Amino acid sequence: MAPLLTLLLLFFFHTPTTSSSSSSPNTTTTTTTTTSSATTANLSSFASICERSLSSAASAVADLSSLLAYASANPALFYHECDIYGTIDFIFGNAAVLFQGCSIIARKPIPGQSSVVTTQSRDDPSEDTGISIQNCSIIASDDLRSSNVSTRTYLGRPWRPYSRTVNIESYIDSLVDPAGWTEWPGNHCQDTLYYREYMNSGPGSGVGARVTWHGYHVMGYNDATNFSVSNFIYGDEWLDSTSFPYDDDIPQLRYIIYTKKSAKTN
């Protein structure tokens, strides 16, 4: 099911369990969700449609398009220590959204289907939107882990030409395909998308066999800092007033150079 169709279904069938709000571009709205669980069979189950939103200890459970991240003016969404389950494109939309300390859990799809974690829909390179996944765990659900059927799981695919998603310091389990990323059917935007990885760990984090698209790279420290809480969603301007916990640190990658007589660290 295409995300656009899923989005339409969301407005007809979604039963809100989180508080969200919209306001004029000249006002600032912060919406807080502390504990929430949302389930809707095979439909989008969790939506953030507002200017600024933060969620903690929430769960979004569905198969298709579990979490819609969309914002109007000054988009800034923050998810902290949430559990997000899904199969196809289960984090989707177009906002500046940052996930920190979350468990992103791929479920078992129908036979013959792949699992895709993100599909971001940035239409214009001037938009300050994207998905930043930091210090999260990308793992398999129990039903996927115990399945005898081989399932390909990918970090993301581009819904729009300038799709932007980064994975920073996250644990990526062996469920993720070595290629890491996959195409949208009939979509040829591999040169214009922005997909990056930085200092991830786990058996699925190896970048040696990743896609060779022009728009994909393993990024360095300076680029990674652009996707921190303060730089990407300007969290220091609005999260501090909520006493909401967040980590604004992006560690610098350190290279170790070995010689015959000594080891030097740069």
Residue 77: strand pairing partners: 53, 97
* In-domain check, residue 19: no
**Residue for token pair 């059917």:** 185
pLDDT in tens, 28-82: 334 444 333 333 333 333 444 334 455 444 444 444 444 555 555 556 889 889 8
- Mean pLDDT, range 170-188, rounded to an integer: 93
Span of 73-87, 160-174, 249-263 with lowest mean pLDDT: 249-263
Helices (runs of H) and strands (runs of E) counted in the chain: 5, 19
DSSP code, position 219 = -
Q: Can you give the pTM of this predicted structure?
A: 0.76
* In-domain check, residue 139: yes
* Residue 104 CA to its chain's centroid (Å): 8
Residue 152 has a pLDDT of 93
* In-domain check, residue 9: no
* In-domain check, residue 207: yes
* In-domain check, residue 33: no
For residue 6, the SS3 value is helix
The answer to whether residue 123 is catalytic is no
Q: How far apart are CA 200 and CA 133, in angstroms?
A: 10
- Mean pLDDT, range 221-230, rounded to an integer: 96
- The tally of domains found in the chain comes to 1
Residue 161 has a pLDDT of 95
Q: Is the pLDDT assigned to residue 27 strictly greater than 90?
A: no
Write down the catalytic residue from 63, 83, 89, 177.
89
* In-domain check, residue 37: no
* In-domain check, residue 229: yes
Domain hosting 143: range is: 49-264
Beta strand spans in 17-157 (E): 30-33, 36-39, 46-56, 58-61, 67-80, 83-86, 88-94, 96-100, 103-106, 115-120, 130-134, 137-140, 153-156
Tell whether the torsion through CA atoms of 219, 225, 226 and 227 is positive or negative: positive
Residue 2 has a pLDDT of 40
* In-domain check, residue 32: no
CATH number of the domain where residue 62 is located: 2.160.20.10
